[in-house]
Amino acid sequence: MLIRVGSRGSRLALTQAEHAASRLRAPGIEIALVPITTAGDRDRTKPFGEIGERGVFVKELEEALLDHRIDVAVHSAKDMTSTDAEGLRVGAYLVRDDARDALCGADAIRPGMRIGTASARRTAQLLALEPTLSIEPLRGNIDTRLRKRGERGLDAVVLAACGLDRLGLAHEIGLRFDPAELLPEAGQGALALQVRAGESHLVAAADDEATRERVESERAVVAAVGGGCLAPVAAHHDGATLTGLVAAENGSWVERRTGDDPVALGRELADASARH
């Protein structure tokens, strides 16, 4: 049996896809990796918000699934939209890696630093921590962003710790932010294996139940906040507590809440955002 596994073509994405493939291989099962270019890969200059922040690295992979060009799509769960596309399901979440954000180039946040990131979520929380920071747009794959830090004379860049770990670049990390300082993106640190509805059996053996429960609760928070909320949104379940956040992109206000019910938590955050 041949299972075609679709992935973005970056070094990190292919590393993640190979990790997923290793979990799917079994006697009688052959894996073929299929690189696919997404909108987020083609346009590396515009801010994410201008090309659709959530889903820009996902849409083409989902279309390939629906067109039967691939059988499994490997996503960084944080790149996915908060609800499943029609006809598709997340058949498995692999065991979650470090969900935290990482500071590369420095070991602490200091007044007046120039920090590179393209994330509105990171921008908002960084400025809330230290309003004197200068946040500069920075896109590209991990290697590109690390290189641009030096080329542009930035003091630091903020990246997902899991990506650096997966590429053997943990030595670049000066600080792993406590989620109490920078709350991660919903799904950050987890890999999602997406399949067509009714075909979850292709990946079911790779599913980690604890990761599924936590990531699905995070995605539910974001879904409940709703598309009408333009503020940066974050959600993270650490195994004990589900936390959600909305904030002004300039860091002038941050609303952080905890709760057991993801939908109620999301609605509470949406109400809090509407009051600002």
Tell me the catalytic residues: 78-79, 121-122, 139, 145, 229
Question: Residue 167: is it exposed, middle or buried by C-beta count within 10 angstroms (0-12/13-18/19+)?
Answer: middle
Amino acid at 43: D
Q: How far is CA 97 from CA 2, 20, 79, in A?
A: 28, 13, 15
Interatomic CA distance for residues 35 and 33, integer angstroms: 7
User: CB–CB of 139/192 below 8 Å?
Assistant: no
Interatomic CA distance for residues 157 and 69, integer angstroms: 36
* Residue 134, number of CB atoms within 10 A of its CB: 12
Dihedral sign (CA 148, 150, 156, 162) = positive
User: CB–CB of 261/276 below 8 Å?
Assistant: no
Compute the half-sphere exposure of residue 17: CA atoms within 13 Å on the CB side of its CA: 25
- Cβ-Cβ contacts under 8 Å for 33 (sequence gap 6 or more): 5, 7, 14, 17, 18, 21
